[in-house]
Amino acid sequence: MVSPKHAIKKAGWDDKTTILHTDDGAPYVICESNKAFANPTTPSDMKPEDIKQQLNLDLGQTIISRKNGTLLCTIKFLDGLLFRWWESLFFQACNRIPLSAKRALTFASWKIYLKLHKILLGRKTGLHSSLSLEYHALSTLLWFSRLFPVSPRRIKFSLSQLHVCTPNIVEAHYVEEVEQVIGIDNVPLVQKYHDTVRGLYLHQRDVPTEYTIFWVYGGAYLGGDALGNSSAADWIGRQCGMDVFIPEIRLAPEGDLDDVLWDVCLAYKWLISNRSVKPLKILLLGISSGAALCLRLMQLIAEQERGEETLPHYIPNLVGTMPKAAALFGPYIDYTEPKKGSFLHYPRLDLIVNESVQQYGLPYLKDFIPDGRRREYSPLYRSMQDLPPLCVVISEHEAVHDMAVEFVNLARAQGVPVTLGIWKYMCHVFPLLWGFVPESQISMKFVCEWLKQNAAQ
């Protein structure tokens, strides 16, 4: 599963834990053990505050910081005065520009910027000197987003542009726009008008491939769409030789978590019943909150098979048989109040789930989760029993690190085979940055190999 040229040594106490290094020297770990994970590259007694002291925080400077209240107030004022009132027109104008033109401009600008950054700043701005020059440059760009207010509209627009930041165009044999009513008996009243499956189906050839990837996008339930994810999904689909279905799901604040779970389960049922794809020929792939939805889908199936009550109670009409396996990128699976650990301490390190995102984007969960039942709806606190093989990819220095490792250990303790890939110094869902960053390219290839190997078993 691991490319030999990257394998440096084995962790002596467990021959299923491999320490590797990127070409620039940053270690990462692939762990296929059935034991609780203990990171061999970081002492177990190190606290988040101790780890932060070893890193190059805030681009290595102290002048600009979120601790500067005057700076934040000034930025907020200028943002409202100069941009916020007309940003919707700007977003609409951007959406009218051809994708090929936006992608060409993005990567041409990146090449110029990367050269200038290498000359002027080099390795001074990343969390650690062993990161690639590309990630140092990206850190300089993305770091400043933590100083600006984040709104649901901005999140939606940013995530809708993901396909602009991928090096590939969609090369599937053909792309099918799905919009189909699925017949269901006893539809609950609250979902009466939501019996239509929508999304993009990426077909690799004239006839269906043996396996199909069921792709659930992320965005903290505030953003994300099938089109924005289509290029990344197509690349993985072509690497694995598999069709990909990307269902559209409702987002906050229009829908709540019950609605989103319904949409995912409805799409899964449609794939099985209307497209006759056998569950054991389906591989799930979820990103961040989408990873949580994949996990909940599997938990709901397992709960139904065990005869247990599900949450929400009307879901059993939709779920069927367990899929073959699931790959989860940065699973955001704990909706309780962050009081400790990486979700509390690491937004300062994370380029994606940064302080601004937590300040402006996450309070919506209060209304998004029905009846405020955060713990009950958190996949982390549901049973992991009877789940299929899983692959979890995270960074050691991202906000969801602690909940992801806890999930891996709980699943392993309940007999679930879990392969964990954990990279140092990277941000949340960093594999999707593979158009720019070598570390991300390694992680994407790793996931593709895992998917192919599990399909072959």
Q: Is the pLDDT of residue 7 over 50?
A: no
Tokens of 362: 């996450």
Token pair 């679930």 is found at 416
Q: What is the mean pLDDT of residues 153-158?
A: 92
The pLDDT tens digits of the residues spanning 380-418 come to 999 999 999 999 999 999 999 999 999 999 999 999 999
Concatenate the DSSP letters of all residues of 357-423 into one string. Answer: HHHHTGGGHHHHSGGG-HHHH-GGGS--TT---EEEEEETTSTTHHHHHHHHHHHHHTT--EEEEEE
Q: Where are the beta strands (DSSP E) in 95-134?
A: none
Buried b (16+ CB within 10 A) or exposed e, 414-440: eebbbbbbbbbbbbbbbbbbbbbbbbb
Would you place residue 324 in the very low, low, confident or very high pLDDT band (cuts 50, 70, 90)?
A: very high
Domains of the chain listed by start with CATH number: 164-186+194-456 (3.40.50.1820)
User: Which tens digit of pLDDT belongs to each residue from 179-193?
Assistant: 999 888 778 888 988
Average pLDDT over residues 320-349: 91
The region of weakest confidence among 9-23, 81-95, 167-181, 219-233 is 9-23
Q: Where are the beta strands (DSSP E) in 92-152?
A: none
In our burial notation (b when 16+ CB lie closer than 10 A, e otherwise), range 165-192 reads bbeeebebeebeebeeeeeeeebeeebe
pLDDT at 8 over 70: no
What is the band of 14 on the pLDDT scale with cuts at 50, 70, 90?
low
Q: What is the pTM of this model?
A: 0.94
325 φ/ψ sector (left φ>0, alpha ψ -120 to 50, else beta): beta
The whole-number average pLDDT for the span 215-223 is 94
Neighbours of 109 (CB within 10 A): 10
Rounded mean pLDDT, 355-369? 82
Q: What is the pLDDT of residue 363?
A: 76
Say yes or no to pLDDT of 202 above 60.
yes
Share of the chain above pLDDT 70, in %: 97
pLDDT above 50 for 5: no
Token representation of residue 398: 């991202």
Q: What tens digit of pLDDT does each residue of 287-313 get?
A: 999 999 999 999 999 999 999 988 988
Taking residues 167-171, report their average pLDDT. Answer: 89
Task: Tell me the HSE value of 106 on the side-chain side, using a 13 A CA sphere.
Answer: 19
What residues contact residue 333 under an 8 Å CB cut-off, 6+ apart?
A: 291, 292, 295, 378, 379, 380, 400, 403, 404, 407
Q: What per-residue confidence (pLDDT) applies to 183? A: 80
Nearest Cα to Cα of residue 433 among 106, 39, 112: 106
Residue the block writes with tokens 């609780």: 36
Predicted confidence band of residue 371 (pLDDT cuts 50, 70, 90): confident
- Range name among 38-52, 82-96, 337-351 with the lowest pLDDT average: 38-52
Q: Which of 188-202, 246-260, 333-347 has the lowest mean pLDDT?
A: 333-347
Average the pLDDT over 216-242 and give the result: 95
Q: Which helix (H) or strand (E) holds 180?
A: strand 174-181
Higher pLDDT, 249 or 193: 249
- Residue 154 contacts residue 69 (beta carbons within 8 Å): no
Residue 47: how many CA atoms within 13 Å on its side-chain side? 4
